[in-house]
Amino acid sequence: MTVTADARVPRPTHPFFAFLLAGAVPLFLGALLSDLAYGSTAEVQWSNFAAWLILGAMVFTGLALLWALVALLRARPRKGWPLLCFVLLLAAFALGVVDSFVHARDAFAIMPAAPILSGIVAAIVGLAALAGFSSLRSGESR
Amino acid sequence: MKRLFAAALLAALASGCGQDAGTDPVQYGADPQLPRQQRGLVPSMKIADPAPWGDARPTVPQGYRITAIATGFGIARQTLVLPNGDILVAEGRGGGERALRPKDIIAGFIKAKGTSQAKSGNRLTLLRDADGDGVYEGRTVFADKLNAPYGLALVGGQLYVANQDALVRFDYRPGQTKASGPPVTVTLLPSQINHHWTKSLAASPDGKFLYVGIGSNSNITERGMAAEVDRAMVWQVDAATGAHRPFATGLRNPTALAVQPGTGQLWAVVNERDELGPNLVPDYLTSVREGGFYGWPYSYWGQNVDSRAQPQDPAKVASAIRPDYGLGSHVAALGVAFSSPAMGPLFAEGVFVGEHGSWNRSRPSGYKVVFVPFRGGRPAGPPVDVVTGFRGADGKTRGRPVGVALDPRGALIVADDLSNTIWRIVPERRSPAAEAPTRPAAPAPRADPPATSAPY
């Protein structure tokens, strides 16, 4: 078995980064579905669900964003999948903050912004996950 | 750099509110200016920054004097002046709803910064000035182990107390300093969640009925419509049986009730909804019509629809009554009392209103006691500042007025639930004539005299 000394040999995505990326997607998706349910029923509990799901999603997205930033800084060259993943997570986080504030409004004041924002963020974070899983970490020792 | 970024972010968030430019609209009286609804990402906010009074005192008009007659209460809310001049102070803090959303945790933390940290007293304290020199040397606990008492009313020999979960009754003999026993429950009151927990109270002139103000369980139905059953209304309670029925509905938070001397008409001050911008919705003073619907949650100030409340009810909106008199947005009127000529010619006819002060405005409003002059038994003219200086020029808040009560001998009693002080405002040069009953505070279309001591 040959062990290469080249630190640039690509490795697959780190399991914890994969966990963060994969975790954020269903949480934002759940928020979107809850928002849609609230929009059609005016049952306020759906809006409460959405607010908590977004909070959870933001924890995952925030940690994933930090991870992606470090990965980007360590990547050579600093472009391609790592850059795309970072940019998408940054966009998802920024819009997620706005989505959180929208969900802090009372009752139907969250409409129609809530499902629109949650939908966009869910899509972006989904793309970020795809980009994250497509990027290959450089194999420096940890 | 980081600060700059934070400032830019905050500015961006607040810009949606776009509110605080220019002058405020005129929002008192029968026809307040109602600007368009504004919903930024974060509501316009300024939380009171508490500071001790030190040597500072609230400001009163020339010719009046203010003194602190007692302090150190477990949250002083409402007061009742008994026929012998003793003052009962209801102390307590109720509510304590669980946080439903992330917002509730954050907003609760922020708003708590502007209120007293004192423990809830859950009692009635009696203050006595035996020799009439304006110094209340006597102080006893009249009753304790109550559950956030708020509204108070005396009907003959019965003292009614509106706890946050029940209307209760004590026997009362003139001169008593301590209740003779535990209270009797007249009726339970709606208390689930208890977002707006204060239960205001007034008695009909004949003493047969009690009116209980019950606040909504949310700002604007964000806890669901089901949480609002039996909320945002005034109950009429049969004093003898405890039987009750809604007397008027759609009153978001009727924080204080008063019966007009002479006419027997019920009046209320009502706190309106938040988070529609700094200039919506005006809190108001209104006569309360039997069977009347005042809009909440579907609409405000008559037919102005609030689409946050869903599903809407167009029939209810169409029936919504416009209140009598706007007090200004977010002033948080928590006290109302009819005046009498004993308070001097400036305040001979009208009501005093205690304004706890705003949070949902970057330019604070309220934080004072105003006088709404009446003519012919109806509000007439702009409100007059009576007690100000609760919020100092330094931006610190030293007190927040809640209940106001009239001592018929010629004094205004103001409860302050931040410094937990009872303030007493008297006309300075009182002639003996002012002590004697002169003319009625309002025209009396009905000749029958009040059979009871009206709960001012």
* Residues in chain B within 8 Å Cβ distance of A57: none
Buried b / exposed e along B87-109 (16+ C-beta atoms within 10 A) = bbbbbbbbeebeebbbbbeebee
Closest-CA residue of A relative to B308 is A108
Place of tokens 């689930």: B192
Q: What is the pLDDT of residue A135?
A: 66
Of the pLDDT bands very low, low, confident and very high (cuts 50, 70, 90), residue A139 is: very low
Mark the ranges of chain B whose per-residue pLDDT is less than 70.
Answer: 1-22, 429-456
Q: Do A106 and B307 touch (CB under 8 A)?
A: no
Residue numbers in A near B218 (CB within 8 A): 106-107
The ipTM is 0.84
Contact B102/A at CB under 8 A: yes
The predicted structure's pLDDT at residue A9: 54
Cis bond upstream, residue B414 (ω within 30): no
Interval A6-65: pLDDT, tens:
455 566 788 999 999 999 999 999 999 999 999 999 999 999 999 999 999 999 999 999
Q: What is the DSSP letter of B73?
A: -
Residue A5's alpha-carbon distances to A2, A141, B277, in angstroms, are 10, 10, 64
Confidence of residue A104 (pLDDT cuts 50, 70, 90): very high
CA distance B3 to chain A (A): 18
Residues of A in contact with B309 (CB under 8 A): 107-108
> Is the CB of residue B5 less than 8 Å away from at least one CB of chain A?
no
User: Is B15 part of the contact surface with chain A (CB cutoff 8 Å)?
Assistant: no
Chain A residues with beta carbon closer than 8 angstroms to that of B310: 42, 107-108
Q: Between chains, do B222 and A107 touch, taking CB under 8 Å as contact? A: yes
- As a whole number of angstroms, the distance between CA B166 and CA B157 comes to 19
Mutate to test the interface with B, among A44, A93, A103 (most CBs of B within 10 A): A44
CA dist B237 and B219 (Å) reads: 26
Q: Which two tokens stand for residue B112?
A: 């708590």
Q: Please tell me the predicted confidence (pLDDT) of residue A31.
A: 98
Does B181 touch chain A if contact means CB atoms closer than 8 Å? no
Burial B394-415 (b: 16+ CB within 10 A, else e): eeebbbbbbbbbbbbebbbbbb
Identify residue B136 by its one-letter amino acid code. Answer: Y
